[in-house]
Structure 1
């Protein structure tokens, strides 16, 4: 199906997108959808409205904001978003009222964006959590890990690492514990049911703020909090068997709040994050699954460190990075759960070219960059060619006007 003809982008409220971190983003056709997240203003966390969604046209470089209706979820950060069969699903996350384990869904291909709550009356839901990840496979969404709270009867040492910083305040007093997990939960949207498959093999340690990617029938995960090294594991989504991949080369330094994106049948792209010394990172790496080797990826964004950002596979195998933070500060809140406000939230889009472009893409970009020189010739182009070129002209003009240089390697 051609999503370019299905996605409705009429009637937008045009305004620049605001800086944010810990949001949800996904790509449908030519459009990047951004929802939720937060930013810090004068030391206070401000959550973005949950009744609107921001849409970025990757061809024209233009943003719009659309209203949302229905069972509107609370404003959240740290939620896990995924795209399946035309809809965006969000699960978990947190705000000033605590952590969530609710499931919401919105169809992105209709004329209106109407939320539906798939939580009430559903048994066997995972416990509340944030900073988790997911894989989409065979019409199911598989969730892994995260940070949250559990009652003492639900704490299992092999699948849950207790956050010692939480003991003093809520520990035994409320018989609840905060910490990291390595659980696997499967959500079936068709039946609106949850299951927890039995996994075998060498499972990753409990973690949150890690990165994950789906490639074929495997779900990959690497890094994250409570993990001191850049390990790489995959879960076979058919047999539910974990495998720890041992790299045959030097590995990137350990980190959390980074991203991992599959951009070819055998390649994963890692970007940014926060290292063990609490330093924001701007390095890119490619892991070759055939050779089990990491190699550093040279790119023009070395001066733009990012954490709490999102990464999506865009047009022509580009990796599209949006938002996040460029600095880091740690505080302790009233229930002793670690919070990480940042003053350096971002709203720019970074494009990483991972594959050679087609001749058509190269020509469109060349004309878009040199529109003033070619202005007279553009008027004689057939409409079919003129429309995409006009979008590329808008893309490069927008980049200049907003002083956000969107550069490709």
Structure 2
């Protein structure tokens, strides 16, 4: 029997979910002690019901890591990232309903592109994509406000300067227009932070600010463009970067993993209650699976699907890339979900009864049966020997 396809291990990739599939593109791994980008002609789809992977191809953007991705009106957009030539400000999209999965370069009709950057984040609001922060480069003449762009003293060449920013850029997908709204009370410039949105509010947590890492929390009103700092009423998680933040209800956010101030990969999970403004550490079954520079998307019933990332400090080791999909239950499951999962996980016991179910329910249970099937090809964290001739060497990642 042929093995089922599985997306390989990676870090710095882009992932987004639409309730049915988790879409994964790009990222990088290590091959023979060289950093290489994953094939840019692969878009991986992970079925949230049966846990199976499949890959599709199309006209492609360049191979990159550190891009920022989201889904708007059934179209996956990616912006920025780091390619073989350094950070970029290219914009691409792919229609997820078109089975050819053909990418296109997004050409704006008006407005100015943000400067090249990677390790940024974004929110989606009313058909608009709002990008925040990141690490990238500018010409000296483009650095007009030292409060919005902090120069990395260790990285500069002639009149080109690298650094962290706290800029907010908005892209209107319908009008194909870039704007840079004026914001107020901005957080410090940062990269490798985590973000999530609930309604008309965008949230930012932690990230790398110069040589330190933090766990501060800010909220941006996506209508008034006003920032506000959220001061925790309880002890906050340790400062970190390369972590994730996911909305799991109308009033709560889930934080997972990241790299600590002392460069230690972490596996802790936290719930932030927006009403009480308090953090609560969450018990979970993945304490032995630290992750950094992974992705996290909301699945069914407020599940959080964490995919990929690294279990080692990649700037020192860079061989600990993962391709397992971790599922975090953040809310009680509804009765229907509990019943389906119990039957699916004991399919041999209920085989005759499953065949008697109504067609729609039978199909749902059978898909979940695949998810719980013990013979499914195991996914891994580690390093595999690959044919690197297909790939492009990556440059350093801040």
Q: TM-score, normalised by structure 2?
A: 0.91
Q: Which residue in 2 is equivalent to 1:383?
A: 359
Q: Which residue in 1 is equivalent to 2:120?
A: 132
1-side partners of 2:190 and 2:295: how far apart? 18
Higher relative contact order (CA 8 A, sep 6+): 2
Aligned residues: 375
Q: Which residue in 2 is equivalent to 1:182?
A: 166
2-side partners of 1:351 and 1:43: how far apart? 31
- Could you say what secondary structure the match of 2:293 adopts? coil
1:166 counterpart = 2:155: yes
Query: Residues 14 and 65 of structure 1 are in contact (CA less than 8 Å); yes or no, is this contact kept in structure 2?
Result: no
Query: Residues 145 and 180 of structure 1 are in contact (CA less than 8 Å); yes or no, is this contact kept in structure 2?
Result: yes
1:105 positional shift? 1.0
Q: Which residue in 1 is equivalent to 2:39?
A: 49
1-side partners of 2:137 and 2:105: how far apart? 22
1:14 positional shift? 5.5
Counterpart selection for 2:21 from 19, 31, 43: 31
1-side partners of 2:110 and 2:82: how far apart? 20
1:107 counterpart = 2:95: yes
Q: Which residue in 2 is equivalent to 1:204?
A: 187
Q: Which residue in 1 is equivalent to 2:388?
A: none
Q: Which residue in 2 is equivalent to 1:401?
A: 376
Counterpart selection for 1:20 from 6, 10, 18: 10
1:348 positional shift? 0.5
2-side partners of 1:221 and 1:190: how far apart? 26
1-side partners of 2:213 and 2:58: how far apart? 40
Query: Residues 149 and 165 of structure 2 are in contact (CA less than 8 Å); yes or no, is this contact kept in structure 1?
Result: yes
Q: Which residue in 2 is equivalent to 1:335?
A: none
2-side partners of 1:229 and 1:42: how far apart? 33
1:221 counterpart = 2:228: no
Counterpart selection for 1:348 from 319, 324, 327: 324
Query: Residues 57 and 102 of structure 2 are in contact (CA less than 8 Å); yes or no, is this contact kept in structure 1?
Result: no
Q: TM-score, normalised by structure 1?
A: 0.89
Query: Residues 77 and 92 of structure 2 are in contact (CA less than 8 Å); yes or no, is this contact kept in structure 1?
Result: yes
2-side partners of 1:150 and 1:296: how far apart? 39
Query: Residues 102 and 119 of structure 1 are in contact (CA less than 8 Å); yes or no, is this contact kept in structure 2?
Result: no
- Could you say what secondary structure the match of 2:311 adopts? coil
Q: Which residue in 1 is equivalent to 2:389?
A: none
Q: Which residue in 2 is equivalent to 1:337?
A: none
Q: Which residue in 1 is equivalent to 2:390?
A: none
1:404 positional shift? 5.2
2-side partners of 1:363 and 1:127: how far apart? 50
Deviates more, 1:318-327 or 1:46-55: 46-55
- List alignment gaps of at least 5 residues for structure 2: 381-398
2-side partners of 1:213 and 1:18: how far apart? 26
1:367 counterpart = 2:367: no
> What is the root-mean-square deviation of aligned Cα atoms in Å?
1.6
Q: Which residue in 1 is equivalent to 2:79?
A: 91
The 3 A distance-change label for structure 1 pair 380 and 120 is: closer
Query: Residues 234 and 244 of structure 1 are in contact (CA less than 8 Å); yes or no, is this contact kept in structure 2?
Result: yes
- Could you say what secondary structure the match of 2:7 adopts? coil
1:45 positional shift? 1.5
Deviates more, 1:114-123 or 1:155-164: 114-123
1:73 positional shift? 0.8
The 3 A distance-change label for structure 1 pair 139 and 303 is: same
Q: Deviations over 1:43-100 (max 9, x none)?
A: 112212222210111111111111113xx21011000001111101110001221111
